A and B are shown apart, each in its own frame.
Chain A
Amino acid sequence: MSATTESPVETHEVGYAEQGNMPLRPAKGSKLMGAAANYIDERTSVSGLVKEVGRKIFPDHWSFMLGEVALYSFVVILLSGTFLTFFFQPSMAEVTYNGSYVPLKGIDMSAAMQSALNISFEIRGGLLFRQIHHWAALLFIAAIGLHMLRIFFTGAFRKPREINWFIGFVLFILALAEGFTGYSLPDDLLSGNGLRIIDGMVKGIPVLGVWISYLLFGGEFPGTAIVSRLYSLHIMLLPALLIAMLGAHLLLLVINKHTQFSGPGKTNNNVVGVPVMPVFAAKAGGFFFIVFGVIVLIASLFTINPIWNYGPYDPSPVSAGTQPDWYIGFADGALRLAPPHWEVVWGGYTVSFNILVPIVVLMGLLATVAFYPFIEGWVTGDKREHHILDRPRNAPTRTAIGAALMTLYAALWAAASSDLMATHFKLSIDQVIHVMQFLTVVGPFIAFWITKRVCLGLQRKDREIALHGHESGRIVRLPGGEFIEVHTPLTEYERWTLVSYNEYEPLMVRPNERGVITPVERVRAAVSGFFFEDRISPVTKAEIEASHHDSHGAIDAGDSHH
């Protein structure tokens, strides 16, 4: 649009007239809007962007809103957090509380704790905004988690979206870091204990641990520096990284276009859905206000993090049943599950396996999640772009791996409440921990096996329906005396959803061009076998035709075991 030059008549239409369309032609009663749009476009060439993005198509499915929930709660976090910064003092200077909350009057605490109490008890709407901020943060992380599960189980991470999956994973880690740093700021008893646990974990790191803790806390724990340092990270560095990553995440979403579920009319080469302007914009914009409204509603009805009940941090007291915020639970639970005496002294140096092993397990879990798309892509060798989502049952091994990872996560997470389970259900803590240890080690394998069997069973059921139609419940007696149940045939549309999915076979190891079978290829073949050995092939046209001739055709015909 830089070609637009000043000329006496109709300057603003020159550029568009040449292209044969005039998107900014003023409509009735919107002369001012037209002039404003022209003003901006002549200085930004924004019309190109509007033309490009304005009618972009977004497919519709309820599960696609999970990422939106995360995005909108992040906006709510930014808004409410900014309000809180106007009042919060990130300082550990000691003060004597003299505010309006009577039970804490006269008690020594940090300025941070005092200002957090003042936000809650002196400022109108302060408590509301604190609770909005906290609830929105919890919703943010929960929505990210569910969004990741949706992406994983539908295979939306496949080419070309592997990098965006990884960016999303980084966003998840940043969100956890934001959660933890924010949780620590009020300097109350619970958050101080959380930091104490971090300090203890960091000290368990070989060689550098003590130094990292010492530098982090500005001396010995708890020191007087940690709150202001975490504050810098919480309100500046981490949000900046989050926003940058979020920008990249959304940019790639626009470039790759959204995936869609398989269905009639939907192909790998198209997107079927509603355009950004106006339908998607109205839906998504409205949805932002709904998410915002629900968060505020929760914040006005339910208390979260009542720091005034906990009191200021003191290294000596702690209440029974201490719990981290739920999203840190899996890390805390991992620490609880280490058996006694896992510490050794080697050559005079102390190695704390009771801390290192949980850390390694957590890192392993997170690394598997982060790199899964690359692993699956390497196993299948499939370099095609995939824009049609898998139904989870149609990728049984992936779905089973997902279930196994979820079980591991759930076992670790539940272990963080081991003491509460013991007291609520009148069990001994030893029993609860031993059950959790068992579930952590064996649970993922059980979940894997069950999930895979269920997926294969569902696929068989799909085959049966695709071949023979739905059971009508109507029993008919044939002239020969035979009883049969009448099946209602599927429509073409119903059948398409059942038969159109990707199938992979196990990799056959073959020598490469130099006539050797590399060890890497052997590993790949083994993993490929693990993935695709048990599989149910989609129904073929020939099978459908055969089933028309013989209504008792073998249902398990496609059930091939190599």
Chain B
Amino acid sequence: MADHDDETLAGSAVEKAEPQKISAGTAVIPADPFENPGEPQHHIRMTDKDPAEEKRAARQVSTLFFASIVFSCLAVAAYIAFPIKDGDTGSIRLNNLFLGLGIALGLLAIGIGAVHWSKAIMPAREITEQRHLTRGSDATRAKAVEVFELGNKESGFGRRSLIRNSLFGALFAFILPGVVIFRDLGPKVDPNVVLRHTLWKKGMHLTLDPSGTRIKAADVTLGSAFHVIPESLLDSEDLLEEKAKAAVLLMRLKPEDLHEPEGREDWQYNGIVAYSKICTHVGCPVALYEQQTHHLLCPCHQSTFDVTENCKVIFGPASRPLPQLPITVDDQGYLVAQSDFHEPVGPSFWERDRA
């Protein structure tokens, strides 16, 4: 702090001495500029003219501060007076409301009091302070350069290139373990393999989400839709991870409405089709089924899939059709999967189409 005065003085000296050095670029400098008329006359407040007004303002400020004390105490009282009763949401609402109002009014009274104090009582006359160029004075900058040069000379940083370059190498290398160590943030298995498989397999029963009851084909009436999970899901260790891949929507349409591509004619059963519920865009559940149009809509980004056309994308940002789960019935008439999905479900990824 001690030598700050010198610096600022020197700074303004620089400003005066070398204004022509600073380029104004393509700015137009007026040849005959207007004179700055200087500060307009100061506006006198009522509290400046009338001592009674000033006294009144002072009383208002202290009243606000006293009010703040009262409100803060009321907040404490509200904390005690409005306890939370088990299972009673109304008591939570009251606690929240009155505790909050007490605190809020206590704070606002302090704030408004302080601002009122500053505006009505403290001197309102504006003060002018000079600015200085932000850059250090030439002397200071020369000193700084000297410091660096001295440091360079004494350490030999510029001259001893072997030391310097090996240090750069070391500083780079020492980061590497810090990067590598993050590998075990995830398990050892390759995600590209894991993402290809779900819990579905040959003979796995389709069950209702979340109860886990099996579904009889005969119970799936025309036009209905079911949220489905694999039967083994509820016993799974990684319930949410598996559900995030295996969730399925089951719908029944008139068989003649379905236009299945070649080779998939037998993936449905009597017009009952099962499609992955995980959007191929960024993975939200495609939860909305429009019964009349047979469209599936993702509520997150409005990708729309046409169930009659093998769930191809007809609108929205998704690119791929929802993967179909091949289904059939077991000998008791319950719906089962024929196999796992034949492609990865959910959002696309770099190696998705690699075999």
Contacts and interface: CB of A to CB of B under 8 A. Distances in A.
Interface of A: 45, 48-49, 51-52, 55-57, 60, 100-102, 120-125, 127-128, 131, 160, 193, 196-197, 199-201, 203-211, 213-223, 225, 255-257, 264-275, 278-280, 282-283, 285-294, 296-297, 299-301, 313-322, 332, 335-343, 345, 348-352, 354-355, 380-385, 387, 418-419, 429-430, 433, 492-493, 495-496, 499-500, 502-507, 528, 532, 537-538, 540-542
A257 B130 CA distance: 10
Nearest to A357: B317
Contact of A340 (B32, B119, B238, B315): B315
Contacts of A122: 84
B246 to A, nearest CB: 9
A193 B286 CA distance: 12
Contacts of B98: 300
A196 B279 CA distance: 11
Given A269-B131, A300-B100, 19 more contacts: A57-B127, A60-B126, A124-B95, A204-B282, A204-B348, A213-B191, A215-B182, A220-B191, A272-B127, A272-B129, A273-B127, A280-B118, A293-B108, A294-B108, A318-B285, A342-B319, A380-B25, A383-B23, A430-B315
Given A121-B84, A219-B186, A318 B284 contact: yes
23 contacts: A57-B129, A101-B89, A121-B89, A210-B191, A211-B186, A221-B244, A222-B241, A270-B128, A270-B129, A272-B39, A279-B118, A300-B100, A314-B243, A315-B240, A318-B287, A336-B301, A340-B313, A340-B318, A345-B353, A350-B348, A433-B316, A502-B27, A504-B25
B134 A352 contact: no
A48 B28 contact: no
A121 B83 CA distance: 11
Contacts of A160: 134
Contacts of B168: none
A43 B245 CA distance: 64
Given A124-B99, A288-B111, A419-B299, A504 B28 contact: yes
B220 interface: no
B83 A214 contact: no
Contacts of A289: 107-108, 110-111, 114
A359 to B, nearest CB: 12
B147 interface: no
Contacts of A528: 26
Contacts of B130: 269-270
Interface residues on B, range: 35 or more
Nearest to A506: B26
Given A52-B4, A204-B348, A293-B111, A265 B30 contact: no
B30 A540 contact: yes
Contacts of B315: 340, 429-430, 433
A211 B278 CA distance: 20
Given A300-B101, A381-B25, A430-B315, A348 B240 contact: no
B185 to A, nearest CB: 4
A16 B25 CA distance: 46
A196 B283 contact: yes
Contacts of B96: 125, 127-128, 131, 300
Nearest to A299: B100
A477 B261 CA distance: 89
B119 A200 contact: no
A213 B350 CA distance: 12
A321 B284 CA distance: 13
Contacts of A205: 350
A208 B182 CA distance: 14
A269 B123 CA distance: 24
A297 B101 contact: yes
B285 A315 contact: yes
A505 B241 CA distance: 62
Most buried by A among B24, B229, B245, B288: B24
A57 B315 CA distance: 58
Query: Top 9 closest A-B pairs, CB basis?
Result: A300-B100, A200-B282, A286-B114, A381-B25, A48-B1, A265-B39, A289-B111, A343-B319, A293-B107
B128 A343 contact: no
Contacts, number: 379
Q: Which of A294, A336, A495 has the most CB of B within 10 A?
A: A336
A335 B301 contact: yes
A199 B133 CA distance: 49
Interface in B215-258: 227, 229, 238, 240-241, 243-245, 247
A360 to B, nearest CB: 14
Given A197-B284, A273-B127, A318-B300, A350 B134 contact: no
A504 B108 contact: no
A500 B32 contact: no
B334 interface: no
Contacts of B110: 286, 289, 293
B86 interface: yes
B123 A297 contact: no
A55 B284 CA distance: 57
B17 interface: no
A541 B32 contact: yes
Nearest to B248: A316
Nearest to A268: B131
B70 interface: no
Contact of B284 (A102, A196, A345, A538): A196
A264 B39 CA distance: 5
Contacts of B183: 215
A287 B100 CA distance: 19
B63 interface: no
A176 B139 CA distance: 43
A428 B300 CA distance: 16
Contact of A264 (B36, B87, B95, B353): B36
Contacts of B301: 332, 335-336
Contact of A257 (B39, B131, B192, B288): B131
B111 A193 contact: no
B194 A220 contact: yes
Contacts of A124: 79, 82-84, 95, 99
Contact of A56 (B28, B126, B129, B300): B129
B115 A340 contact: no
A90 B207 CA distance: 32
A274 B15 CA distance: 25
Given A52-B1, A429-B302, A335 B95 contact: no
Contacts of A280: 118
B9 interface: no
Interface string B255-290: 000000000000000000000011101111101100
B50 interface: no
B122 A537 contact: no
A269 B183 CA distance: 56
Contacts of A128: 95-96, 99-100, 103
Contacts of B15: 269
Contacts of B107: 289-290, 292-293, 296
Nearest to B249: A316
B170 interface: no
Contacts of A55: 127
B92 A127 contact: yes
Contact of B118 (A204, A270, A286): A286
A296 B114 contact: no
Interface string B40-75: 100000000000000000000000000000000000
Given A124-B99, A221-B283, A340-B318, A496 B36 contact: yes
A336 B302 contact: yes
Nearest to A503: B28
Given A290-B115, A296-B103, A297-B100, A220 B195 contact: yes
